[in-house]
Structure 1
Amino acid sequence: MERVQFQQEQMLAELKDLVQKGLFTQKEIKQIMQKRTAFETALVRRIPKKSDFLRYAAYEMGLEALRRKRVERLKQGPQPPSVSDFALVRRQFHIFERALKKFKNDVGLWTQYMQVAKREGARTLVGRISARALQLHPNVPALYILAAAHELEHLSPSSARALLQRGIRLNADSVEMWREYVKMELGFVESMRRRWGVLGIDVDEGTDKGKGKAREADVAGNERTAAKMGNEEIDKMEVDAKDEGEDGEAARREIMNGAIVRSVISSAVKALPQISLFTSLHELLATYPCPQSLRNALLDHLFALLHSTLPLDPSAIKLSATRALTPGLDGEALIDALKSANEQLAHAVRNRGEGHAGEALAVLYAEFVQEWCSKDIDESLKGYLITSLQLLAQRASPAPSPALLAATIRLLTSHHQALRMHLPPSGSTSEKVLRFARKHTAKDRTIARASAAVWLARLDAEWVLGSADGAQSAWDEARGAVEGEGLEHVWMWGVDRAEASDVRAEERVRILEVRALLGFTFMLGSRVRLAGLTRSREFAAKSTSTVPPAVVAVVDARAARVRHIAQGYLPSARVWQGVFAQEAAAAEQMAARSAPDALDRVLATVYEQWRQKDGVGATVEWARWLLAHGRALEAKDVVLRAGSWLASGDAREVERRWKMVVDAPESEE
């Protein structure tokens, strides 16, 4: 408490000054003192929390805002500065300093401190904070960007450039760092253009004739800049400009044409040849306010590097094709840009190779068409895009892409009525859309038939355009046909639709149970998931009775749970005994639902795991369950096989317990 008392003593002068100025009453000062004491007490405990410091700082910020409001309202006029004018702000800084001593590794806390200091106009303090933060966290790009932005706000581009270059040396793989560096150089070029415009230096002569209107748009800004500059400084700069001669003119022209920015972009691509960098720089260059000639030159340079660096990357091909589709396009410009982008992407998909890269390009084209069909554009454009997609999806060579087929089925399902006049005959009616979907999931379509995306699109089409029986039949067929990625979504499709339909309360409870178990199964990983679902299909095929799909799903989910327990934990024999009891109870419930012996496979799995921990107990319990369900021969085989892998003493113990189990009914009689 001595530290709390020390902090209280430091407050006396400022609180007394606040009362003398009439900004706070004695009662309010007492409340402030109580509040601060509570905050200080929380800060001196053995393990302080970051939230305590932040709450304290927020309280002081609110107190300072209230003080300023009251000063403004009282209108006391100019007064000599006193301790209360800066004490509350100083206390905010002091709280952050104390917090950073405890939480030096918290980058967010450093950022908040910088923002508070910047808001209070403490320029020098912001510089010191950023320097300390960068010293402790040299691999955090956000700190370099904040520090550089602070320097730019105070007209120090050289310091900002040095900070960003230092950050890039330490974080060359940061897209954000390179983007901000390019943005800073763009701002530098634009500021020089305005500055030379004020001086009357015509840097566009011979290279950008006819662009006088673009310069006229900046007249107002140039006049404001000239008003801020002294006449003597302008005269001096004019003399320097005249003395530079032809070399200076050529240098200015290169700068205005973006030579510095092009150099930075080239360095960025060399250090980080990734599509994320190209996407970020394209977004920056397309939206940054600069002359159109400069923007076009920089974009040409960027896409030239893109073509040479990532010539076969699907995302790079899409980015290059959609270059002209900038925000705000409409009318003929939008039509021309959309047509050009579609033709380039369609040509790339048509000439795509086999394998993952070719399918990835098809996926991107499908996403492109779906994205534009969801926008508010002319219906004829939507029909044009869907028709182009359908023609590509029906190509036999190379093999039809599942992504294109799935996208075509979905778009025809949702747009065939509204775009009837703009679609080909094969997709203009509900019957033809269903025929198209069924055709491409037939047994002779090997690739498309095994694709979950195509089947999900067909299932949605059957649900929307067909009948409930047709959708159920398609779902049954899909569960046996789909292989690989997305199999879980096919299984969940039917469960979701059943849950949404009008069913009885008991049936809804069962559906929710199946959904929960399936969700647990699909979280276990692709290997366990796919193996389990494959076994469930085999189980359904080998079953002597017709097992409902929901029961098959429950069996598969419970078996996957058992495998997950075995692989993810170290269960003891006692745990496996409890799991066996649970599964035996579940088997009884399944038998009551007209699904006898549905969980045999689950109990057998539990037995295989349990016997590794307790061979005697597991063998006896499994044999006892088989005997109780009229499967005496199987129970006898389990006991006999146990003798081959158990120790001699354990084998005799199994025989003794088994004899007791067999003799128990006779003794009861």
Structure 2
Amino acid sequence: MAGPSDKARFYLEQSATELNELERKKIFTREEISSIAKKRSDFEHIINARGSHPEDYMRYIEFEKNVDALRRKRIKRLGVRYKGSGQRTIYFLYNRATRKFSGDLVLWMQYIDFARKDKAYKRLNDIFTSVARLHPTKPDIWILAANYFIDTQADITNARSYMQRGLRFCKNSEIMWLEYAKLETIYVGKIAGRRKILGLDIDRTKKPGTDEDGDEDMIALPEVTAEDVNPSLKQDDGVDEVALQNLASAPVLTGAIPLAVFDSAMKQFQGKPKLAEKFFDMFAEFSQLACIPRILQHVLDYLQENSPHAVETAICRFRMLLFSCDPSDPEIALALSKALDLISSTVQQHPKEIASISEVAVRQLLSLHRLLADGDSSLQKASRAALRKYVRAMEDGQGSGDQVARLGELLRKQGKKDEAKLLSQTGIKYWAANETLQKLSAVTET
């Protein structure tokens, strides 16, 4: 068996020809070539010795990245023609590292990140196949792979396949179910967006069907999906014009697939109300889609039927009353009144949940206030009064504004600057000494 020195020598000899070529073309000087060779020798002896660690490989890879970056700059400045093997060397090191430390997820993630930035799509397919095979019970792997295929390659077929296979191994992972439903909702948005650009009418009168055959471990999706019309994967967002016209009578635009995922998740988790609320929150983020009100109503109907007295059911009812409110709608005053009465009674029925319930109310009222900016002044006053009430309730009468400041920072990071500004201004009225609120107010004012 070859010892560490023999292995090191073997790998070093493979790079000797390239180093000589770099010197011959005067990309690097003789002194620089000697320095590179010495550093490589040191690294090779370290990683081939017993007791080496993933960090040793990462330091070696970082060194090679720096060498490759410098080589590219020199080539550009000197105007010489030389392709070299810089990227191949880095990939080769990543392969060696992941073979030796196949259980190190951090190493795999860095490998994936490097390949994504390098746009090495074919190589990424192989990487995801390998890491999913080695770590099938890690939800993050399946989610990362699925998002990669839908975002980068616009390949819903592969993305859906990764999610389906991931759920076989991670069926008790809530995040897997949520991310799968989110993936399918994003795809609905892509299809709807392309149809809108093309000016195609959308037929929403069809009712979704279900596929009762197939693998019992797979989620039963609607009978007709975008997959069935074979959308072209060469388009930027994965949908071609012919497919869009064929989709006019398919249930995909009605949100049937996300609903199928939701129903399957509820069966898996015995109708857990908290998970249903998470689905509601996720779906509500796609408020611009025409099918979302129907999806949200389905989630709410499920909660009201299976957990009528749960606090999550009341929260979803409250949010549904105010979802996509139109300031010009004459019924908005009645909807706001009903919503505020509902959240008030919910606080009384669940006193131990007052802080979390109040936070939901504050989030919804902040969003509503933005919509009412140019509307009825009486409605603005009512929403502001309710906002002040539930901002105070968030601290449950004992805090110093920290919970309000935390929510404000979160809203700011989410890009909701106006909402964060209003919240900080409201909070300062009650907790003027809170430094975080003061800083938040100053940041949102600029």
Same fold (TM over 0.5): yes
Question: Is 1:360 the equivalent of 2:349?
Answer: no
Residues 27-38 of structure 1 correspond to what in structure 2 (within 5 A)?
27-38=31-42
From 396, 405, 430, give the equivalent of 1:407: 396
Give the aligned partner of residue 313 of structure 1: 310
Q: Which moved more, 1:7-16 or 1:147-156?
A: 147-156
Note the C-alpha offset of 1:159: 1.5
Answer whether contact 2:167 2:177 (CA < 8 A) is retained: yes
Q: Which runs of 5+ in 1 are unaligned?
A: 208-224, 353-357, 391-403, 413-460, 465-669
Aligned counterparts of 1:174 and 1:295: Cα–Cα separation in 2: 24
Residues 419-568 of structure 1 correspond to what in structure 2 (within 5 A)?
none
Give the aligned partner of residue 395 of structure 1: none
Secondary structure in structure 1 of the residue aligned to 2:309: coil
Residues 5-20 of structure 1 correspond to what in structure 2 (within 5 A)?
5-20=9-24
Kindly report the root-mean-square deviation, in angstroms, between the aligned alpha carbons of the 2 structures.
Answer: 4.3
Secondary structure in structure 2 of the residue aligned to 1:407: coil
Note the C-alpha offset of 1:168: 1.2
Aligned counterparts of 1:62 and 1:5: Cα–Cα separation in 2: 22
Answer whether contact 2:149 2:158 (CA < 8 A) is retained: yes
Give the aligned partner of residue 108 of structure 1: 106
From 61, 65, 70, give the equivalent of 2:65: 61
Query: Which protein has greater RCO, CA pairs closer than 8 Å, 6+ apart?
Result: 2
Answer whether contact 2:343 2:361 (CA < 8 A) is retained: no
Question: Is 1:263 the equivalent of 2:260?
Answer: yes
Note the C-alpha offset of 1:108: 1.8
Give the aligned partner of residue 373 of structure 2: none
Give the aligned partner of residue 160 of structure 1: 159
Q: Which amino acid letter does the alignment assign opposite residue 184 of structure 2? A: E
Q: Rate the CA distance shift 1:380–1:61 in 2: closer, same or farther, 3 A.
A: same
Aligned counterparts of 2:341 and 2:147: Cα–Cα separation in 1: 42
Secondary structure in structure 1 of the residue aligned to 2:396: helix
Note the C-alpha offset of 1:187: 2.9
Give the aligned partner of residue 432 of structure 1: none
Give the aligned partner of residue 136 of structure 2: 138
Give the aligned partner of residue 98 of structure 1: 96
Answer whether contact 2:143 2:176 (CA < 8 A) is retained: yes
Note the C-alpha offset of 1:160: 1.4
Aligned counterparts of 2:325 and 2:77: Cα–Cα separation in 1: 47
Give the aligned partner of residue 638 of structure 1: none
Give the aligned partner of residue 430 of structure 1: none
TM-score, length basis structure 2: 0.66
Note the C-alpha offset of 1:127: 1.4
From 282, 291, 294, give the equivalent of 1:294: 291
Secondary structure in structure 1 of the residue aligned to 2:180: helix
Give the aligned partner of residue 540 of structure 1: none
Secondary structure in structure 2 of the residue aligned to 1:318: helix
Q: Which moved more, 1:311-320 or 1:40-49?
A: 311-320
Note the C-alpha offset of 1:93: 1.7
Q: Which runs of 5+ in 2 are unaligned?
A: 207-231, 370-379, 402-430, 434-446
Q: Rate the CA distance shift 1:22–1:168 in 2: closer, same or farther, 3 A.
A: same
Answer whether contact 1:342 1:385 (CA < 8 A) is retained: no
Aligned counterparts of 1:387 and 1:156: Cα–Cα separation in 2: 48
Structure 1 or 2: more helix by fraction: 1
Note the C-alpha offset of 1:385: 6.0
Equivalenced residues, count: 358
Secondary structure in structure 1 of the residue aligned to 2:103: coil
Q: Which amino acid letter does the alignment assign opposite residue 147 of structure 1? A: A
Answer whether contact 2:318 2:339 (CA < 8 A) is retained: yes
Note the C-alpha offset of 1:325: 6.4
Aligned counterparts of 2:273 and 2:66: Cα–Cα separation in 1: 46
Give the aligned partner of residue 654 of structure 1: none
Q: Rate the CA distance shift 1:374–1:388 in 2: closer, same or farther, 3 A.
A: closer
Note the C-alpha offset of 1:345: 1.9
TM-score, length basis structure 1: 0.46
Residues 299-378 of structure 1 correspond to what in structure 2 (within 5 A)?
299-323=296-320, 340-350=338-348, 352=349, 358-365=350-357
Question: Is 1:39 the equivalent of 2:37?
Answer: no
Answer whether contact 1:145 1:164 (CA < 8 A) is retained: yes
Q: Rate the CA distance shift 1:362–1:287 in 2: closer, same or farther, 3 A.
A: closer
Answer whether contact 1:370 1:407 (CA < 8 A) is retained: no
Q: Which amino acid letter does the alignment assign opposite residue 301 of structure 2? A: A
Q: Which amino acid letter does the alignment assign opposite residue 77 of structure 2? A: R
String of CA shifts for 1:65-111, please: whole Å, max 9, x gaps: 222223333334xx4x65x1xx2212212222222233221122112
Q: Rate the CA distance shift 1:282–1:52 in 2: closer, same or farther, 3 A.
A: same
String of CA shifts for 1:115-165, please: whole Å, max 9, x gaps: 212222322221111111111111111111122223222232212111111
Q: Which amino acid letter does the alignment assign opposite residue 258 of structure 2? A: V
Answer whether contact 2:319 2:364 (CA < 8 A) is retained: no
Larger Rg: 1 or 2? Answer: 1
Give the aligned partner of residue 173 of structure 2: 174
From 66, 74, 78, give the equivalent of 1:74: 78
Note the C-alpha offset of 1:373: 11
Q: Rate the CA distance shift 1:112–1:410 in 2: closer, same or farther, 3 A.
A: closer
Q: Rate the CA distance shift 1:25–1:181 in 2: closer, same or farther, 3 A.
A: same
Q: Which amino acid letter does the alignment assign opposite residue 312 of structure 1? A: H
Q: Which amino acid letter does the alignment assign opposite residue 75 of structure 2? A: V
Q: Rate the CA distance shift 1:146–1:406 in 2: closer, same or farther, 3 A.
A: closer
Aligned counterparts of 1:151 and 1:70: Cα–Cα separation in 2: 35
Answer whether contact 1:314 1:360 (CA < 8 A) is retained: no
Answer whether contact 1:42 1:52 (CA < 8 A) is retained: yes
Question: Is 1:120 the equivalent of 2:132?
Answer: no
